[in-house]
């Protein structure tokens, strides 16, 4: 259970902090990722809010891990979908840099652990 707690906290903090930061950023989409319309910036804020919400869900699962089996498995599914999207991006757009590859590896590990080693079902 300690490994699950640790991985859920890692996921939660690593998504919540940048998600909230990106959602509340004044100049969103005007630096390294160009979003040049109000619609694009609104969509980008929504994606950041979604990222923050997934982080909150990971931390929420820690609150009562024994009863959070389905939530942990759902987080695993989110991670697997992120890996699949990155794999498709490699085919469509080319190989990522080292940081992008590291993110994909971490997401694959989290997805595998959350899907195949969730908390035991409640009795």
Q: What is the mean pLDDT of each run of 10 residues along the chain (123 residues)?
A: 94 96 81 74 89 97 94 97 96 94 96 95 77
> Position of tokens 């979604």?
50
pLDDT of residue 8: 97
pTM for this structure? 0.89
Which residue pairs, CB below 8 angstroms and at least 24 apart, start in 46-51? 48/18, 48/19, 48/20, 48/21, 48/22, 48/23, 49/19, 49/23, 50/19, 51/15, 51/18, 51/19, 51/22
């Amino acid at each position: 259970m300690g490994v699950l707690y640790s991985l859920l906290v890692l996921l939660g903090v690593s998504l919540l902090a940048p998600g909230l930061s990106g959602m509340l950023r004044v100049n969103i989409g005007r630096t390294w990722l160009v979003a040049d319309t109000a619609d694009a910036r609104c969509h980008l804020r929504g994606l950041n809010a979604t990222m923050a919400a997934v982080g909150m869900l990971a931390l929420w699962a820690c609150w009562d891990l024994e009863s959070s089996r389905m939530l942990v498995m759902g987080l695993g599914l989110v991670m697997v979908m992120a890996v699949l999207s990155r794999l498709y991006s490699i085919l469509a757009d080319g190989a990522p840099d080292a940081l992008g590859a590291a993110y994909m590896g971490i997401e694959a590990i989290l997805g595998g652990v959350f899907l195949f080693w969730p908390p035991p079902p409640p009795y």
